[in-house]
């Protein structure tokens, strides 16, 4: 009868998994997605923009102003008083002086509100860098 003895000198091999390479890959993927992500500016209110045949994409937008259907004015995801539009545009324009202003006016908003916002934006930014956001037909 043969007996098998395990010597005390040999350590038993344990089944361990090294997670370091997997964590490295996960962190590299996370960094990749953060760096390549596009950050979209939002106004804070849903706007139904009017349609236009001459709509075109404007690069380098620094300030996004939205006018809701109830004539509420939104800048930087918060509602602002119509009298403080200029101060808010000045603050945001100071962060990116080369950028322009895009006004997103709802189809049902009044022309009076749009004209007031446009007038205050023109006091900060030259008229050629102010645009009205529309939908392509």
| Domains of the chain with CATH codes | 51-136 (3.30.420.270)
pLDDT of 82 strictly over 60: yes
What mean pLDDT is reported for the chain?
84
Segment 117-121 mean pLDDT: 94
Beta strands in 1-137 (DSSP E): 51-52, 61-67, 73-75, 78-80, 100-105, 130-132, 135-136
- Give the closest residue to 81 by CA, choosing from 96, 92, 65: 65
């Amino acid at each position: 009868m043969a007996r098998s003895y395990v010597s005390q000198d040999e350590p038993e091999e344990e089944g361990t998994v090294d997670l370091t390479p997997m964590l490295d890959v996960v962190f590299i993927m996370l960094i990749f997605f953060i760096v390549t992500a596009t950050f979209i500016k939002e106004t804070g209110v849903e706007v139904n923009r009017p349609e236009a045949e001459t709509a075109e994409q404007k690069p380098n937008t620094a300030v996004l102003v939205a006018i809701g259907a109830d004539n509420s004015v939104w800048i930087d995801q918060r509602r602002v008083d119509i009298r403080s539009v200029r101060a808010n545009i000045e603050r945001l324009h100071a962060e990116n002086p080369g950028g322009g202003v895009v006004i997103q006016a709802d189809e049902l908003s009044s022309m009076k509100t749009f004209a007031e916002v446009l007038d205050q934006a023109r006091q900060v930014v030259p008229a050629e860098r102010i645009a009205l956001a529309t939908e392509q037909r």
